[in-house]
Amino acid sequence: MASSLRDAAHLMGAEGLVELAALRRGWAGVVGAEVAAHCWPASFRRGQLTVATDHPAWATELRILSGQLLKGIQSVAPGVESVTVQVSPYGGRDW
């Protein structure tokens, strides 16, 4: 039997969804409103968070600031071990 929502998600094969939901809910607080307008947490699997952005310039900025970004992200989702950035100009937020 699962003892927490995180455990239950893992048992259902939905590992990482609890962390992803927490990040999406508090994203602007983690990265700031201006950055949040151009990027979003897209997926989280096996400790790796994928952040999507709407422009290559934002992707470059996020990669440069990845160390600081990771610290802020870990304050909300401690299970995040690394961050990958991808450009997704047409995908947009699907949540």
Residue 55 placed within a domain: yes
Domain-located, residue 61: yes
Q: Model's pTM, two decimal places?
A: 0.79
**Where are any strands of DSSP class E within the chain?**
39-45, 48-53, 82-87
Please tell me the least confidently modeled range out of 15-19, 52-56, 59-63: 15-19
Whether 93 is covered by a domain: the verdict is: no
Task: Look at the chain and report how many structural domains it folds into.
Answer: 1
> In sequence order, what are the beta bridge partners of 85?
51
What pLDDT digit, counting tens, does each position of 23-33 carry?
999 999 999 99
pLDDT over 60 at 86, yes or no: yes
CATH code, domain with 49: 3.30.70
Cα–Cα dist 61/3, whole Å: 39
Q: Sorting pLDDT into bands at 50, 70 and 90, what band is 49?
A: very high
Is residue 7's pLDDT more than 60? no
Range of the domain at 10: 5-87
Q: Is 54 within the bounds of a domain? A: yes
Report if residue 33 sits inside a domain: yes
